[in-house]
Amino acid sequence: MSADAVTRIKAKRTSSGRVAGGKQGLSRGSTIGLHVGLTILAILCLIPMLVVISTSFSSESDVKENGYPIIVRDFSLDAYEQLIGRSSRTIIDAYVDTVMVSGVGTFLSLFACSMAAYVLARRNFFLRTHLTFFIFFTMLFNGGLVPTYIVITQIYSLQDTFWVLVLPLVVVPWYILILRTFMQGISYELIESAKIDGASEFRIFGTIILPLAKPGLACIGLFILLRYWNSWFEAMLYINRSDWQTLQLMLIRMQQRVEAMFDENSLIQTNLRIVDIPSETLRMAMVVVAAGPMLIVFPFFQKYFVRGLTIGSVKG
Amino acid sequence: MRSRMVIAVLLFAMVAGVLSAGGEGESGDGPVELVHYGFSAGDVSDGPEVFGLINEKLGARIGATVDYVDIPGPEYEQRIQVVINSGEAYDVAFTSHWRNNYHVNVSRGAFTDLTDLLPDLAPTIWSTQQGYIDAARVGGRIYAVLNEQIFARSRMTRLPYEWADAAGIVPEEYSDRALFGGEDLYDLDLEMRELMNEVMPEDAVFDGLGPEVAWDKNFIVPIIASQVPGAVQGDVANELRVFNQYKSDAFLELLDYTELLVERGLIRNTDLARDPEAQRQALAAGIHVTPVEPGGTFKPGGEEQGAERWQYLYYENQMTPATLTTTGIIATMLGVSSASENVEKSLEYLEAVFSDDSIYMLYHYGIEGRHHTVDDGFLTVVAGSGYNRGVPWAMGSQFQQIPVAGQPADVWDQTRELNASARQSPALGFAFDPANVTAEIGQTRSVHDEFVPGLMDGSRPRSDYQEFIEKMDDAGAERIVAELQRQIDAWAATR
């Protein structure tokens, strides 16, 4: 943009800072309307989360009598005491497992996806179209459950190992394609000039591409982290050790136990005692404990997230 | 340079991880290790220790150990199906008509034919299961052994102790009047409901009856399931005519009776009972009234088991004659995989569990003194101790279990007697192959679920019955009946 053009635009601005002409700007009324609407929407989104948190900090008797609270009526830490007291070992183990899997997995996955994306983003790579299609194809068709199970258990013998929770989720075609589009926005001239300066391919990738792709990486990194954090299917299918489970699987199993308890089919009736069923508040406390870390992580990614959201929507 | 090293380290870590994992999965030469897929409903966190002890016993007795893959109950079906479909080598797995379907597995060759091996390798199982194991025959062959438990099914009361006492009801007398006095079941039900209604609070749940009550009252035996059309009449000699039980007079009579109960307010608050949390509260508070319970089945000693579950004591007394059906018998079994390389050892393993009570007790209730205690010949489970499988019927003969404190000492003799004295379904031993009418079964089931619960608790008017029957027919009820008739005739011809 030339200096002249900038001056012209600046001159057009009114003292309120809006672009002259004002047709694109919103009237005060509609701004208020929009804000009220969005605020209501935001509150609606927050309420379920608030109910979960409030219930977890309420006393069981209050929840039974008056239903789920939006704002805590009768504050109590019973649920958390119970949670830590009765199954601290399992919960801490599950936490450690989940953090390890999420940490290692996110790192490996981001690494693999960004490398693949970079290669596909390079216009001078002759297999680019074919490889992109190859990766895209797996989004439409996959091997299905049983063949995947055979590959993982019989060919790689990964069952009951740490890696079975990590490796199946490492490469995500969709994320590769998003990152590819993002990296295509990085000027090819930068790569060329680095080459002229004698940089190797890995150096270009490591010192030029990755820092420039930070917003995209942060955004996809968060997606990947969430995916690992919330994954439970792999643990259910491939982990036979009863003392080894991820947080989400633990939550699911707890819920299943409650449901099985009420199954009127005499065949599934079990000898468990009704007092062994986790109370409402305890279940909510577990949700808070399991989902909490992700709620805390999210704001750290936010500054990248807004930019990251638009990636792929407009080509640089 | 640095980035290159990072990559090298990462690649090395991945490859090393995969390789080391591969090493763990392989079994070396040494004693046979059997793989058994089963499930639990309770806390089995001390499982490794308990199985260490079981394996010591097994090692000494049959020279093999078992690698028990413990899957939480609700996940079992999916897991075992993947394992079977993938052709993975395992040895023993739970099977039944309701979870990991036995007949489907047999038809696709997932289980080994045990017929000729059982008498020699598992003599205890073979001798104690005579008379029942025929229900597990497919084409004359046996592909799984039964876990012995209550085979006979019958309806029972579920009346809260204190309230029933307050109302002056002696459930045993009603049981006698129903079973031996020749009185009408609905008359007795009505009498109990009216008496309970006088003493119970307004918010008590008065549950409706279910179609199962009508079937048992009239000795109608549904073949596939109560919800799916297709039943035979039990007390008609030598006749195996299949009909849609929902078109029978028995069901119409039940609808009339239900209508009467709703009018008099003797079925009420049932919407509350459908909400699990509310039901739990109603049961635990002892305000749940069901004079003839449609779900569940009467078991000697069941009251104490229920009390353990609900933390409230309910009278459970038998209200209809016990019936033996194929599904009642094959409700819990153990099959040996056709992919097993240790069929004989697997049978020896099952024989060991069925004949050594200490293995059974370890398997279900863990270590004595720590997970359970035994006083005067009665069992008490130590709550929160880290091992209580919660499904004592899922492996072995339940008759091996030490009676739970509160149960009669002869609980298993009573159960055996009930099994032995039960009336037999005329189609006992017949196994239905659903392949030709799978879609119809699914559709009629959903029509059932749309109408029957509502018809049974009065939330749907009696006049919806006609629509229900029409929709059932549209969903293929008559095709199922015809297919059942065809298969049953073919089965009867080979008998």
DSSP string, A66-105: H---SS-SSB--HHHHHHHHHHHHHHHHHHHHHHHHHHHH
For residue A175, the SS3 value is helix
Instruction: Give B71's strand partners.
Output: B39
Residue of B nearest to A204 (CA): B3
For residue A260, list chain B residues with Cβ-Cβ distance below 8 A: 41, 73-74
pTM metric for this prediction: 0.79
Is B75–A257 a contact, with Cβ atoms under 8 angstroms apart? no
**Amino acid letter, residue A132:** T
Q: Which residues make beta-bridge pairs with B66?
A: B34
Q: Which residue of A has its CA nearest to B69?
A: A240
Of A258-272, B151-165, B196-210, B404-418, the one with minimum mean pLDDT is A258-272
Strands B372-375 and B378-381: antiparallel
B22 contact A CB<8A:
yes
Torsion (CA) B427, B432, B436, B441 in degrees, nearest 10: 90
> Does the beta-carbon distance from B311 to A111 stay under 8 Å?
no
Q: What is the CA radius of gyration of chain A?
A: 26
B392:A271 CB<8 A = yes
- Spatial contact of A193 and A138, defined as CB atoms under 8 Å apart: no
Nearest-angstrom CA–CA distance, B350 and B92:
9
* Domain segments of chain B as ranges: 30-148+327-420
* Residue pair B209/B158 in contact by the 8 Å Cβ criterion: no
Residue appearing with tokens 């194929």: B326
For residue A227, which amino acid is it?
A: R
For residue A304, pLDDT over 50 is answered with yes
Please give the angle made by the CA atoms of B304, B307 and B308, to the nearest 5 degrees.
90
| Residue of chain A minimizing CA distance to B150 | A267
Query: Which residues from A are below 8 Å from B72, CB to CB?
Result: 253, 256-257
How far is B427 from B437, CA to CA, in rounded Å?
Answer: 19
Taking the CA of residue B390 and the nearest CA in chain A, the distance in Å comes to 5
Q: Does B490 touch chain A (CB under 8 A)?
A: no
3-state secondary structure of B99: coil
B25/A157 Cβ within 8 A: yes
The answer to whether the beta carbons of residues B368 and B331 sit under 8 Å apart is: no
**To the nearest whole percent, how much of chain B has pLDDT over 90?**
61
**Which residues, listed in sequence order, are joined to residue B424 by a DSSP beta bridge?**
B324
Which of A86, A163, A273 is facing B311, going by the closest CB pair?
A273
Q: Hey, are the CB atoms on B21 and A280 less than 8 Å from each other?
A: no
Distance from CA of A313 to the nearest CA of B (A): 31
Tell me if chain A has a CB within 8 Å of the CB of B429: no
Q: Delineate the domains of chain A, giving CATH numbers in brackets.
A: 21-76 (no CATH), 88-309 (1.10.3720.10)
How far apart (Å, rounded) are the C-alpha atoms in residues A293 and A304? 19
Contact between B3 and A243 using a beta-carbon 8 Å cutoff: no
Contact residues, chain B, for A161 at CB < 8 Å: 17, 20-21, 24
Confidence of residue A272 (pLDDT cuts 50, 70, 90): low
- B383 vs A158: CB contact, 8 Å cut-off? no
Residues of A in contact with B284 (CB under 8 A): 274
Report the pLDDT averaged over residues B302-309.
77
Query: Which residues in chain A touch residue B279, judged by CB atoms under 8 angstroms apart?
Result: 262
Contacts of B297 in chain A (CB under 8 A): 266
pLDDT at position B44 over 50: yes
Contact A202 B7 (CB under 8 A): yes
Q: How many CB atoms lie within 10 A of CB A59?
A: 18
**Following DSSP, what letter does each residue of B246-278 receive, concatenated?**
GGSHHHHHHHHHHHHHHHTT-SBSHHHHHSHHH
Residue range B30-148+327-420 forms a domain whose CATH class is: alpha beta
B10 touches chain A (CB under 8 A): yes
- Residues of chain B contacting residue A64, judged by C-beta atoms under 8 Å apart: 281
The C-alpha of A9 sits at a distance from chain B's nearest C-alpha, in angstroms, of 45
CA dihedral B394, B399, B405, B407 (to 10 degrees): 110
CA nearest to A286, candidates A129, A45, A79: A79
pLDDT of residue A277: 58
Nearest-CA neighbor of A294 among A85, A79, A49, A44? A49
Q: Which residues of chain B from 52 to 71 reach within 8 Å of chain A, CB to CB?
A: 69-71
Torsion on CA atoms B109, B115, B116, B118, rounded to nearest 10: 120
pLDDT digits (tens, 9 = 90+) for B84-111: 999 999 999 999 988 898 988 998 899 9
Taking one residue from A and the other from B, the number of pairs with CB-CB distance under 8 angstroms is 140
Over 50: is that where the pLDDT of B23 sits? no
Whole-angstrom distance, CA of residue B483 vs CA of residue B488: 9
* pLDDT over 60 at A268, yes or no: no
Mean pLDDT of A289-300: 82
Q: Are A220 and A178 in contact (CB under 8 A)?
A: yes
| Alpha-carbon distance values, B324 to A219, B4, B140 (Å) | 62, 72, 19
Phi (first) and psi of residue A311, to 5 degrees: -65, 140
Range with the poorest average pLDDT among A158-162, A292-296, A308-312 = A308-312
| Nearest neighbour of A154 by CB, restricted to B20, B88, B381 | B88
- Say whether A312 sits in a helix, a strand or coil: coil
Residue A16: pLDDT over 50: no
DSSP B407: S
Test the A interface: residue of B5, B67, B85, B313 with most A CBs within 10 Å: B85
Q: Quick check: A266 and B7 CB within 8 A? A: no
* Percentage above 70 pLDDT, chain A: 79
